[in-house]
Each structure stands twice: as C-alpha cells, then as structure tokens.
Structure 1
C-alpha cells in the first residue's frame, strides 16, 4: 500500500555523524506487516545510546542509521492485527526495543521479558527477521511492531513522556525488580539523563531514602530539588567510601565510565546489598577487589531497558504520582547541534527533539 507520507530523517552515514554530521535523507522502513503501526513523530528524546551508535562505539553500526528510541507521536496507520487496541489518531510511543521473536517456546518472551530475548531488535540499527532494517525517531515517521508500541496517558506531556521510554524505564525497571520501596535505602550513581530519572522513580516507589552520587558537588542542588535525601561527591571527599560505608541497600549505577570507582561503590552497600549497572561503557568496567562481595554477600547485576508491560506500569505510576522529568526541547531541524551539546554534557537533564512539522515547540 502506498502512503501519502515519506520516511525521512537524520541519517548517520559514518562514525563522523556523531560530531554533528548527520544528513537529512529518505529511507526505506521495515517491510509492512498487519501487526505494525506507523507513527507520525512529534517528539523524540536524545539518549546516550544515540551517540554510542552514531560513532560505532559499542560495535560497528549498520549505516545508514537513523537513531532515536524515545519516540512519541500519533498513530497514522494501524494494521488489522495490532495489539493493545491501538487506533488511528491515538497518541503512542515506542522505546528502545521494537522487536523480539515472540515465540511461545522462547523463555524470555513467554514470561514477559522480551527485552532479554536473544533475538531482540532495537528500534534503530537493528534487523528484523525478514532482513529489513529498523530506523528511529530523528525522523518524520516511524514504523514499529505494535507489540512494542504503548499508548501514552493523557496527563503526561509528550515532551516528558518521550525520554521515559528509554531513560525512564532504564532506571525504573531495576529499581522495581530489586526491591526499591519502603524501608530501602537507595543510591543513584550519576545525576544526568538517566540518574535524574533514578532519583524521581526511587522516591515515587517509596524508598526510605535516596542518595545521589556524583563526582563533584556541582549537581547537589539539582539532586535535592529532584527529591534526593543525601548526596555524595566522590572527588570532594577522599574518604567518601569510608564515611558512607554500609549505608545503602541498593545502588543503581547510570554512569558509563570505565574509570568509575566501582570498589568504593561496593563499600557503600550493606550486607546483602545489590549493585545494578545500567550505564553501558564502550570499554570494560574497572577491576575491583572481590572481598566486598564475599564479606557482605553483595551482588552485582545489570539491567537493560524494560519490557512493554513494565513501560506501561512506569507510565501509570508517572501519571498517578505526577512525576515531572527535567527536559529541554530542541528543534528536530537542529538535531546535529543538539547531539553535540548532549555529548558535551550540557543537557539538564534530557534533550527532547520536537518535530516542527508535526508539533509546536
């Protein structure tokens, strides 16, 4: 079926695109299936993953690549076999995942852990089973399988909902899965695009206390405004890990530096505490002494985005609690400048691209 719209967006053609050299071009979306939804993109958050992918930081990228996996817009074409009763005109979103095998014999898909499926397909820089490519939200339109498309609650503004679909769920999911709630003392490493969501959701889930952990005290005031109860500046106190030893039950680390003081973070945990890594560095994590694990029964784990049902749960909590992330709107036409600013750490705390053709700034 021919459509009246074109699939076009900002394409990275080689690793230099991460330096603000994306080009606006037309591309061929995934092959249409009756389980798909075409979304007229109004908003798309800028995620650190976009930069890693544009520069082939994690692995060689499949160029050309249109990044952006925090997508909100309007459903303009809906297949006859879509899930979640999505209709043309609905405000919907898609996060970092737009495919998995969904086979009943797949342990992950069958148990609601589609984000861990061995055949997971990213919303961009991925390939579907038929060989067609996935393209993201720095674009006018996005096509995605309806299983991974969610409806956005009416009370959440589009520019705030967009970064929740990756940045928000990346912190919400490990907090929820690992017992964040009443009585738990939680630490969030990194006060940034991910970390500020971590503070918001830890408080919303009822943590007894939330401690923000950063290199300097530069973001202390912001962290407190977001709801943090305490703050640790690791560069400003040579003995921070001793002064705050055994003070936390759960740490979610959003930083992606191979030089982070991992051993010190582990000292902050109480007996049977958990350290969950969500930031994904392009290099390896630093070496650490194993005795904090053995002596206190501490566990180290990781978490990747979240399944569709978890995204829906997060959005429901966001609407119920009135959670308001800190976002700054940027014009889609200025995406090249916006990703450079993001890479230089200027976002406070999440840039969201607004498609000027489809939404008001």
Structure 2
C-alpha cells in the first residue's frame, strides 16, 4: 500500500479538499503511474454532486489521466518504467463477456459491468479513486500509451473527451462526403469538431449563440449556427448525416432530429440529469435514428491517441493548480472554460 495526496469530495455537493488515500501495492500485472496531469470532465461534477444518483464518498474524481510509469509488476509485458501513459474512464471489466473479448470493455455485460476509474468498487472490494491524485495503480490491460508527439497536458482530456467523440464519429462513418453537426462547443464538442474535421467530414457547430463562432471555425468547422434562432432549424432541415450531441442538458430532440437526412443518426454522448422526450414521428418518416455512445474500448482508445498524434490534435486547455478545482467546477457549470481545465498534479 502507498499513501498519496489527493483532492476528494468528502460528501455530495461538498467542496473538494486535500486529503490522502491508499493505493494498492503493485500486483503482478499492475503499473504504478506518477500522474502529471488530470482533466476535469463535467462527469466529475455530475458524480461529485450526485446528479446521476447515489455516489460513493469520499470521492476522488478524475478519469482523464496522463503520467509516467514509475514501477511495474513482474508479469507486465506492455509497459516499462519511464513510458508515457494514460488512463481513461475504466480500470477493469469482466474480460470474459462477448463485448470485452471484442475490445468493447466499456459495454461489459459481466456482473456489475466495467469498473470505473472512480466512484466504483473494484474486484478487491475497495472503492476506486481517480486522477485528482499523485499516483494510481492500474492493470496494464487498462492503460494506454501516449505517443511522443502529444504533450501530456493536452493529451489528458483525450482519455475521455477525445475517445467519447472519436468512437461515435468512427462508428457512424464520419469522413469525406459526410456532413456532421456538433451540438455544443465545450470540452467534448471542441474535440468533436477537431476529430470530425480531421476525418474529412464537413463540420457544422450548433450552439446556443454565436459567441464562440471564431473559435469553432479555427477548430475546423466550416459552418456555425445559433440554435436560439428559430430560422436555423428551418434553414438546416434535412441537412446532416450525423449529429453529435455533446451537451448534457435536455434539448428539443424533435427539432434536432428534423435536421437529419434520410438514414441520418443523432448520437448523444452527454447524459442529462433530467428525463427527455421525443415524438416517434420525428424518426419515422425518414428512417432517422436517435442513439448514444459511451467512451470507447481500450483498443479504440489507443487508436484515437495515435490518430490525434498523427494529426497533431490535442485538447485546448486551461492549466490550473489543485487549489483552483472548486472554482473550476463552478466555471464548468457556467460554461466559462475554453475548453478543458487540466490539473497540474504537482500542485496537489
């Protein structure tokens, strides 16, 4: 066991505070990672504030982890001390179900599903703690390699924001000749724009206002529209092959579905805390689909990192000290970040 410093929420909705946690001893197939940077995802806030239901406290959030391997177990073959690595939203799964065997560990159908990086209980019966900490011990099969071309600070958010947008864009065949709309230009949305453009798609940003239009165009979008203007939905009716919805607030889904072409898909990667409703007539007439996507498996996460390195895609970040975490949470809720807060864990 190793005692490390961390920032944790002691209870639901409580401010995060500095504390210490115990990390397990390095097992046969484990790697010990010295965490250098940890991204702040809106999911961290949903869970720390129990927006998605009852949670486990104290909670150390953080599933966008980038660091360097400092120790390996005797059975480890994939990594060596000094390797640049990342850890995303999960640290284990059953490894035996069809999805796990297919590299879709995020959809594990084993008992309890995947073991999430935090706010979960591992196979050892102990709670998992995330990346707002100095070190983490993870089985080598749930660690990915960060290519040398990606600085660790801008790579950290790719472990959630990158794979959460890359996976559906690949699955629904975004590429040349396809028109992709990205709803929301935040932590997820800005990576969705970058990745869709790099895949060769024609990208449109749909945002409440035109406040971030210049940013959206610089990130790779060809078009930018304000959804607060009713004329937007009239003008764009039947336009898109794919709509990637990155916001975690309830929308008028019927209005957005009207923007799809025949056989188009609206894919949701944000999870609202409130119920949402649609009319079946919104999908009936043109064989449109309303779907969702959750992060990506370990092989696809590695593929995404390699793709981002090849295309020089990192997150747009604001680097903060650990003592700014609570302020950062409020700014995320108020959409006051361009586009991802990343904690310099040396400040913990």
Contact 2:90/2:114 (<8 A) preserved: yes
SS of 1:15's equivalent in the other structure is coil
Matched residues in 2 for 1:330 and 1:148: separation?
Answer: 27
Matched residues in 2 for 1:272 and 1:261: separation?
Answer: 20
Matched residues in 1 for 2:8 and 2:313: separation?
Answer: 33
Matched residues in 2 for 1:330 and 1:120: separation?
Answer: 30
Quote the offset at 1:30 in angstroms.
Answer: 4.6
Contact 2:134/2:346 (<8 A) preserved: no
Alignment pair present for 1:160 and 2:151: no
Contact 1:29/1:132 (<8 A) preserved: no
Matched residues in 2 for 1:290 and 1:23: separation?
Answer: 46
1:295 to 255, 260, 285: 285
Q: Structure 1 length normalisation: TM-score?
A: 0.92
Contact 2:13/2:50 (<8 A) preserved: no
2:9 to 9, 12, 18: 12
Contact 1:331/1:354 (<8 A) preserved: yes
Match of residue 91 from structure 1: 84
Contact 1:37/1:79 (<8 A) preserved: yes
Matched residues in 1 for 2:163 and 2:234: separation?
Answer: 32
Alignment pair present for 1:248 and 2:240: yes
Structural RMSD (CA): 1.4
Quote the offset at 1:93 in angstroms.
Answer: 0.7
User: What do residues 24-78 of structure 1 show as CA deviations (whole Å, max 9, x unaligned)?
Assistant: 1112235643222111111000000110110011011110110011001111121
Alignment pair present for 1:37 and 2:27: no
Contact 1:278/1:303 (<8 A) preserved: yes
Alignment pair present for 1:338 and 2:328: yes
Q: Structure 2 length normalisation: TM-score?
A: 0.96
Contact 2:45/2:329 (<8 A) preserved: yes
Quote the offset at 1:16 in angstroms.
Answer: 2.4
SS of 2:270's equivalent in the other structure is coil
Alignment pair present for 1:140 and 2:134: yes
Gaps spanning 5+ residues in structure 1: where? none
Matched residues in 2 for 1:108 and 1:266: separation?
Answer: 29
Gaps spanning 5+ residues in structure 2: where? none
User: What do residues 218-272 of structure 1 show as CA deviations (whole Å, max 9, x unaligned)?
Assistant: 111111111101112111x2232221111100111001112x1211110100000
Contact 2:194/2:219 (<8 A) preserved: yes
Match of residue 101 from structure 1: 94
Aligned ranges 1:39-54 → 2 under 5 Å: 39-54=33-48
Matched residues in 1 for 2:19 and 2:283: separation?
Answer: 51
SS of 2:144's equivalent in the other structure is strand
Contact 1:45/1:351 (<8 A) preserved: yes
SS of 2:185's equivalent in the other structure is coil
SS of 1:257's equivalent in the other structure is coil
Contact 2:39/2:341 (<8 A) preserved: yes
Match of residue 273 from structure 2: 282
Contact 1:274/1:301 (<8 A) preserved: yes
1:68 to 49, 62, 67: 62
Matched residues in 2 for 1:357 and 1:22: separation?
Answer: 14
Aligned ranges 1:121-140 → 2 under 5 Å: 121-140=115-134
Contact 1:72/1:162 (<8 A) preserved: yes
SS of 1:356's equivalent in the other structure is helix
Matched residues in 2 for 1:334 and 1:30: separation?
Answer: 28
Matched residues in 2 for 1:31 and 1:278: separation?
Answer: 35
